[in-house]
Structure 1
Amino acid sequence: MFSFFKKNPKPELDSVPEIAAPVVEAPIEEDAPVALPAIAPAEAKRSWLARLKSGLSKTSSNLTTLFIGARIDDDLYEELEAALLMADTGVDATQFLLTELKRCVKDQKLTEAAQVKSALRQLMIKLLEPLQKPLELGRHQPMVMMITGVNGAGKTTTIGKLAKHLQAHRQSVLLAAGDTFRAAAREQLTIWGERNNVSVIAQESGDPAAVAFDAVHSASAKGINVVMVDTAGRLPTQLHLMEELKKIKRVTAKAMADAPHEILLIIDGNTGQNALMQVKAFDDALGLTGLVVTKLDGTAKGGVLAAIARTRPIPVYFIGVGEQIEDLQPFNAEEFVTALLGDASD
C-alpha cells in the first residue's frame, strides 16, 4: 500500500520505519509536518499506473494520435482543441493550454510534432501541480473529516478505503454514519467498519448532525485520531439537503472547535463537466478542503481535472482506479499526465 500523507512528527516519531524514497532534504522544525512517503513494492506501483493508463486510454489515444506525423499548423491546433474539449477539459482550460502552447512553439522555435507534444505535456503538468497536495495528519486530536458527494460517486466505498490507508499510518479511526436517509448506506458503512476493525457510530433514524456530534465526542473521549463523517448523497440543486450539510458542519464545530478540519468531496471521474459543477456548488456551500476522484477505470476522460485546476484549484488528495483498497492512491500530476500523453521519451 502506498499512501502519501503529511504527519506531525511528534507522535511515535522514533517508531516510524525508515522508507527509501526521494525527499527534499531540509531542516525540520519541531512542529513542522513531515512527509510520509509511499509504501509499496515497485511492481505494485507499476501495476497501479498501468490501470490508470488503461482507464484514461480513450482520451490518451485521441490526444497522442494527433501528433503522429503531424505538421505544426492551424489544423493541428484545431484538432487538439476538439480533443481537449471531448476530454472534458472545458473551454477555459482548453483555451489556456492552446494559448500557452502556441506561445511555447513560437518562443522555443519548435518545428517537430514530438516537441509540441512534449511542450503540451509540461504545460499540463504545471497546470495540475497545484492540485497535488498531501493530506496532513496529526494537527488535531481527533481530526474530523466530513465526506460529501452525490449518490453513485463511490462515497461510502471511498470512506472504507481511506480508513484502511489511515490505519496503515498508525491512525485510529471512527466512522459516523451520517447518511440517515438511506438504510443501505448505514449498512455499507458498517460492513467497511467490520472489514477494517473500525467502530461505527450510527442511529436507526435521526438527525445526521446529531450522529456527527456524538461521533466527535466519542472519539475525543477514547483518544481516537480520525473521525470520518459520512453524509447523505445529494445533488447541488437539492437545496434543502445542502442546508442540512451546512447544519452538520455547524453542529460539528460545536462538538469541537474548528472542526471539521477536512471537508472532502468525492466525485465520479466519469461525470465530466458535471463534476466541475459539483465542485463549485459544494465549495460555495461548505468550503471544500480536498477532493477524491473515483472511477478512473472505465470511460473516464480525465480532462475535468484541468478544468478544476483553472476554476477551483482545490487539492486532489486521492484518485481511484478500481474497487480494491490499493486502487485508491495519492494524486500525482506527472503520473496523471503521463497516463494521458506518455512520458517525456515517448
Structure 2
Amino acid sequence: MFPERRMRRIRRRIIQPLLRETELRKTDLIAPVFLDESISTPLPIASMPGQFRHPVDGVADYCERLGNAGISAVLLFGVPGTKDSEATEAYAADGVVQRAVRKIKERLAQMVVMTDVCACEYTDHGHCGIVGETVDGPDLLNDPSLALMAQIAVSHAQSGADIVAPSCMLDGMVQAIRQALDAAGYQDVLIVSYSSKFASALYGPFRDAADSGFAFGDRTTYQINPGNAREAVMESELDAAEGADILMVKPAGLYLDVLSSLIQFGLPVAAYQVSGEYAMIKAAAERGWLDERAVALESLTAIKRAGADLIITYFAEDAARWLDEEQ
C-alpha cells in the first residue's frame, strides 16, 4: 500500500514504452474500399469525409497508395451498374468486384484482398439475398439465399480473392460457402465471417457509400438485436463450428464486451469499426470538439485491447501515417 506501492513509478515517460500492454500496428488494419462500376473518377462520400467510391480502373492505383502507407489488406465492396431482384451481378465473371480483384492482384500480388459476400448492393430491394413471403410478410429467405452466397464467394475466389467475408447473417452461410469453395478447388481461400453482426443504427453512412438501402422492412430478422450478447456469442460459436477461419464483430466500439467474449473459441477475431463510428469522430473533429488523431488512435487501441487481431477501419490509411509519426 501507499507509500510503498506507487503506481506512478511505472508511468514515468521513459518507462511507459517498456510496459505498454497493447500496441497498435499497421498490420492490424484493413482498409475498406468502395468500387462503383458507373464512375470514371473517385466520387466523394458526403457522409464519410475523406472516403470515396473508386472506379474499377483506378482501384489498383489506390491500393498501391495504401500499400505504400503500410496497409497490407483491403476489403472490397461493389456498386454495380445494374441491379435486379436476384443479385445476378454479384456473381458475374465481369462484375465490379471480380474485375477489381483481378486488377489489384495483377499489380499488387502481395496485397491481401478480402471481398464482402452479400447481395444488398446488387438487389433492387436492398436486402441481403433472395426475398419472398414469410409468416411475417415479405422478408429475406434463408435457405434459398445460401446458394447465392456460395456462388458469389466462388466467383470472388476465381478472380483471385484471398479471403471471402459473408456479411448477410444467414444461418448456415459459412458451411455453404466452405463446401462450395472446397468443391471448386479453393481450399486455401479463407472465410472471415461477419459472425456477430448487430442490427445497428451506425450503418447509415455505409448505405450511402454502397448504395445498399432497403426498399421495405428492416434487417432485424437476420441481424442481432443490440441488447443480445449471449445470442451474439452463440452466432460466432456456430460459425466457428461451420468452418469459419476468422470471426468478426460489427460494429466494433460499442460491442467490445462481445468482442472480448469471442476469444474463447480460439480463432482469430476481426472487428469492423463501421461508418457511423468513423463519421461521428470526423464530424466532432471538424467542429473542433475533439482531436481526430488522438480519438481515432484511442478507439483503435481499445478495439485491439478488447481482443481484435484485425481491425477493419476507414481510418486505416491515416492511422498508418500517424503510427509512423509516433516512431
Structure with the bigger RCO (C-alpha within 8 Å, sep 6+) is 1
TM-score class normalised by the smaller sequence: 0.3 to 0.5
TM-score normalised to the size of structure 1? Answer: 0.36
TM-score normalised to the size of structure 2? Answer: 0.38
